[in-house]
Amino acid sequence: MTHDLAQAEVDLAAVAHNVGVLAAHTPAAVMAVVKADAFGHGMLPVARAALAAGATWLGVATAAEALALRAAGVRAPVLSWLHSPRTDFAELVAADVDVSVPSVAHLDAVATGAHQAGRPAQVHLKIDTGMARNGADPAEWPQLVTRAAALERAGLVRVHGIWSHLYEADRPGSPGTTAQQDAFASALIRAMAAGLRPPLRHLANSAAVFSTPSTHYDLVRTGLALYGVEPVPGREHDLRPALTVTTEVAAVRRVPAGTGVSYHHAYKTARPTTLALLPLGFGDGLPRVTAGRAEVLLGGRRCRVVGRICMDQCVVDAGDLPVAAGDPVTVFGPGELGEPTVADWAGWAGTNPHEILTGLGGRIPRHHRSHDRTRQLTGRH
Ligand SMILES: *Cc1c(COP(=O)(O)O)cnc(C)c1O
């Protein structure tokens, strides 16, 4: 059930370009984080484009995402990081998926899975360095690394990585990041003392790639920047936003001053104006809280979304612009033609770009485009 009046164009050449930008900022290997359907961009096309452009790892949150990559024939290394001890680890091990391990309970479940699969599990032990989210409690770490070393000797696991996640790498110079790096270094020393020799140590997300080189270690896990959104607001790294959402005006109305628009008449027209109906609403991922602030590009101009955003539709005040039903509308895109960006929408919604991208509804069809001849020919970025 996809929309016939709205679409998302995914510029895979931009994804490839962004992998290049990331790789130019680090000697570490680049993991393309393609969880949540590649932040709404389409997991498989993005994974393939990122790998072709030089990313060597894929990162996903769930077992189902990892297995979907394998089922589609993607052979590159994949790390999956969100499981409970009840997860079917045998299936992941059999599919050659690396799994994150945040506790002894998880480790034992993984070892059982490896036994069932008849081959060692490749694990990345995760230490909580200060985020208090998903990772081993530092108090449990000595036990976790000791047990992992024993299971490694038993041939049931191979400790491929040790890792953690930063909670505010988007604030360059944060003392929190420094403290996390110290905690990570201590965890690595403890793991070495237990006899582990993990080839991959990883800590950095997109923001840290640009803001904190000392976090790069062997691998960087990049999501947001891969999709062309600046992870540190205000900084410019020649990233190219990959997603453009467009629609068309479904209908227009010329209305007098004082016309109340949409539910509860939250907006009243100040003068005679043209209202353009857009066939997109909060059911498609346009956050309801952005009404009155959000803008779209219509007729070459920024026009404001007014009145309550509904589930499937919203209204734009086009003023005296000569707009007609069928006119093209850009909801967000790279910003080069004056259209809002995903960062603009995040600002209007009071959230981060990740939430806008992953919130885009499934009924907006994604079209993937691999070659951007205009940009290549003109050398524009
Ligand atoms: C989502 C995620 C990433 C990617 O983060 P960005 O800030 O989008 O680069 C990296 N690591 C983990 C553990 C994640 O969950």
Query: pLDDT tens-digit profile of 67-95?
Result: 999 999 999 999 999 999 999 999 999 99
CB of 221 within 6 A of ligand 1: the answer is: yes
Which has more confidence, 36 or 371? 36
pLDDT of residue 377: 40
pLDDT of residue 317: 98
Judged by average pLDDT, the poorest of 247-251, 318-322, 369-373 is 369-373
pLDDT at 233 over 90: no
Top mutation candidate among 26, 101, 221, 237 for ligand 1, by most atoms within 8 Å of CB: 221
Report percent pLDDT > 90 for the chain. Answer: 95
Distance between CA 134 and CA 131 in Å, rounded? 8
The tokens for 63 are 């077992």
For residue 354, the ligand 1 atom closest to its alpha carbon is: 8
Phi, psi at 145, each rounded to 5°: -70, -35
pLDDT of residue 379: 36
For residue 39, the ligand 1 atom closest to its alpha carbon is: 8
The tokens for 187 are 């965890």
pLDDT of residue 372: 58
Region 277-303: what's the mean pLDDT? 97
Q: Please identify which of the residues 167, 227, 263, 268 carries the catalytic annotation.
A: 263
Top mutation candidate among 22, 26, 30, 33 for ligand 1, by most atoms within 8 Å of CB: 33
Give how far Cα 71 sits from Cα of 47, 52, 89, 348, Å: 13, 19, 16, 39
pLDDT of residue 373: 45
Handedness of CA 360, 363, 364, 369 (dihedral sign): positive
CA of 62 to the centre of ligand 1 (A): 13
Give the pLDDT band (50/70/90) at residue 3: confident
pLDDT at 376 over 90: no
Region 337-352: what's the mean pLDDT? 97
pLDDT at 163 over 70: yes
Mean pLDDT rounded to a whole number for the chain? 96
Region 360-370: what's the mean pLDDT? 95
pLDDT at 375 over 50: no
Region 31-40: what's the mean pLDDT? 98
Q: Is 35 a catalytic residue?
A: yes
Q: Please identify which of the residues 35, 126, 217, 267 carries the catalytic annotation.
A: 35
> Tell me: the pLDDT tens digits for 103-115?
999 999 999 999 9
pLDDT of residue 344: 97
Region 337-351: what's the mean pLDDT? 97
Distance of CA 246 to the CA centre of its chain: 20
Cα–Cα–Cα angle for 355, 38, 44, rounded to 5 degrees: 160
Q: Is 227 a catalytic residue?
A: no
The tokens for 189 are 């020393």
Give the pLDDT band (50/70/90) at residue 235: confident
CB of 205 within 6 A of ligand 1: the answer is: yes
Distance between CA 72 and CA 80 in Å, rounded? 16
